[in-house]
Structure 1
Amino acid sequence: MNASPLTVRPFERHDVTDVLELMRGLAIFEGYIDKFFVTEADLIEHGLGDNPRFGVLVADLGGRAVGIAVHYVIPWTYDLKPTLVLKELFVDETARSSGAGAALIAALKRHAARIRAPRINWTVLATNDAAKRFYRREGGSHDAIWEPWTMPVEITADGGES
């Protein structure tokens, strides 16, 4: 049994360096590190500022941040209820099988219930079978109705669309 307790909590200013490092770890794992531009200043401004655009739950194991669940809210959709969107879930390789991922999901579910969001939505890298198995164990399921789409937009120097 691990002597260090695993806790999950919202991120704070002192977590910014660790959160950024975990985000970079996910970017490496998923193959987009060359397009990863988030900085500590971005996390502070957009996650801890006066009007946060996202939240981060941190899995802390013995005083060390070992996992993150980055999330945001879509205020309402077709049923006039919010949707909690899990943008990134990542647990450091050294802490996998520690229960950190399951603890992050449990905390995310509690957060969704608190804000009265009846659902959590997320995407999974198509080739990440381990993540799919994990999410199924946690009660998630593949959405057979909706499929993800994307549309690139070229932005000009003045902020308009080209």
Structure 2
Amino acid sequence: MAAIMVRPFGRQDVGAVHALMRALAIFEGYDDKFRLTEADLVEHGLGPSPRFGVLVAERENVIVGIAVHYIIPWTYDLKPVVWLKELYVTEAARGMAVGHALVEQLRQYVAGIGASAIKWTVLKSNMPAKAFYRSLGGRPDEIWESWQLKIDP
């Protein structure tokens, strides 16, 4: 099996990252609301003050997975938390340890910045994702539940 290389994304990756983000939107059923452009990725992910980071996983020089993340600054314990916003692996590359490689690289990044945890959400119906996250040692938060307040335009 070909080796998987994980690294931060760069300008040369914007098209592939955008395509995978759109594929995730289709998979999760919000593609009709997907408004992100490649220019947005450059401005907000690679600009002078990036709002998020993206790790890309390459296999045979093709990007087959992404881990989009951002930092939530510290509050009570003086340690930030890293929020894993999107983890997506192409269907053809699933089962090849791409997701594991992405999460492991993110885990190393998190440890390097002194963050206390990686947090994320999972669609209630996505049992394969839940099994995957459990295999990494992830667990549902037994104290906190996810809430939202929608702001309509």
**What is the TM-score normalised by the length of structure 1?**
0.93
Number of the residue aligned with 1:34:
32
CA distance in 1, matches of 2:75, 2:125: 29
CA-to-aligned-CA distance 1:80-106 (integer Å, 9 cap, x gap): 210000000000001001110000010
Counterpart selection for 1:138 from 136, 139, 144:
136
Which portions of structure 1, spanning 4 or more consecutive aligned residues, are displaced by more than 2 angstroms? none
CA-to-aligned-CA distance 1:30-85 (integer Å, 9 cap, x gap): 00000000000000000000000000000000100000000000111221210000
CA-to-aligned-CA distance 1:108-127 (integer Å, 9 cap, x gap): 10000011001001000110
Q: Which amino acid aligns with 1:96?
A: R
Highest Rg: 1 or 2?
1
Overall identity of the aligned pairs, in %? 58
The answer to whether structure 1 residue 18 and structure 2 residue 20 are counterparts is: no
CA distance in 2, matches of 1:74, 1:87: 12
Counterpart selection for 2:122 from 120, 124, 134:
124
Q: Give unmatched runs, 5+ long, in structure 2.
A: none
CA distance in 1, matches of 2:126, 2:75: 28
Q: Secondary structure at the match of 2:43?
A: helix
CA distance in 2, matches of 1:77, 1:154: 29
Number of matched residues? 153
CA distance in 1, matches of 2:83, 2:12: 24
Q: Which amino acid aligns with 1:68?
A: I
Q: Secondary structure at the match of 1:65?
A: strand
**What is the TM-score normalised by the length of structure 2?**
0.98
Does the 8 Å contact 1:77/1:83 carry over to 2? Answer: no
Q: Secondary structure at the match of 2:119?
A: strand
Q: Give unmatched runs, 5+ long, in structure 1.
A: 156-162
